[in-house]
C-alpha cells in the first residue's frame, strides 16, 4: 500500500513484513520513495541485530529510504513485562536507499527527527538499478 504526502510517496509495512523483500520492492515499483515499517519486534538473543540487518536490507532491496519504528523496550526504563505479548527491542532507525543508517536509536524509548531528501532516489536507482534489473525466478 502506498500513499502520497506533499509529492513524496510512502509505502507501508508492519513488523514481520520486514522479512519479505517483495513487499518493499512492490511499494517501490508503485512509486514509494520511503517505506515505513512499524514493529513490536520480539526480544531474544540476536533479535536487535536481526532487526538492524533486515531494515538495512529492505532499503537496499527497494532503493527507498526505510523509516523503521521499533517499539522501545519497556525493561530499559524499569517497566516489567506483563503477559506474553512481544514488548519490542527498540532500535528505531532511518536507513538511506544505499543501506546507511542516517540515525539509529537504542533499545529505550527515544524520538528522532530526520530530514530526508526523496530527490536522491532517482540518482540511487541509476547507480544501483536493482528494481530495473529484477527478475522473477
pLDDT number for residue 43: 85
How far CA 22 is from CA of 67, 86, 128, 131, in Å, comes to: 17, 25, 17, 11
As a whole number of angstroms, the distance between CA 90 and CA 62 comes to 23
pTM value?
A: 0.93
Number of domains comprising the chain: 1
Structural domain of 129: 2-133
Chain segment 59-76, per-residue pLDDT in tens: 999 999 999 999 988 877
Task: Flag whether pLDDT at 87 surpasses 90.
Answer: no
How far CA 92 is from CA of 9, 82, 133, in Å, comes to: 21, 22, 30
Which burial class, exposed, middle or buried, applies to 65 when counting CB atoms under 10 A from its CB (0-12, 13-18, 19+)?
A: buried
Task: Flag whether pLDDT at 55 surpasses 80.
Answer: yes
pLDDT number for residue 35: 98
pLDDT band (50, 70, 90) for residue 12: very high
User: What CATH number did the domain enclosing 119 receive?
Assistant: 3.60.110.10
Amino acid at each position: 500500500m502506498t500513499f502520497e504526502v506533499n509529492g513524496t510517496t510512502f509505502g507501508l509495512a508492519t513488523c514481520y513484513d520486514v522479512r519479505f523483500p517483495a513487499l518493499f520492492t512492490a511499494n517501490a515499483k508503485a512509486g514509494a520513495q520511503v517505506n515505513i515499517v512499524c514493529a513490536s519486534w520480539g526480544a531474544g538473543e540476536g533479535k536487535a541485530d536481526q532487526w538492524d540487518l533486515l531494515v538495512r536490507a529492505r532499503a537496499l532491496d527497494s532503493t527507498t529510504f526505510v523509516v523503521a519504528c521499533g517499539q522501545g523496550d519497556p525493561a530499559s526504563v524499569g517497566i516489567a513485562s506483563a503477559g506474553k505479548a512481544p514488548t519490542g527491542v527498540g532500535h528505531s532507525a532511518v536507513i538511506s536507499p544505499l543501506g546507511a543508517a542516517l540515525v539509529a536509536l537504542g533499545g529505550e524509548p527515544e524520538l528522532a527527527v530526520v530530514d530526508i531528501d526523496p530527490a536522491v532516489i532517482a540518482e540511487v536507482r541509476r547507480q544501483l538499478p536493482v528494481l530495473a534489473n529484477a527478475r522473477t525466478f
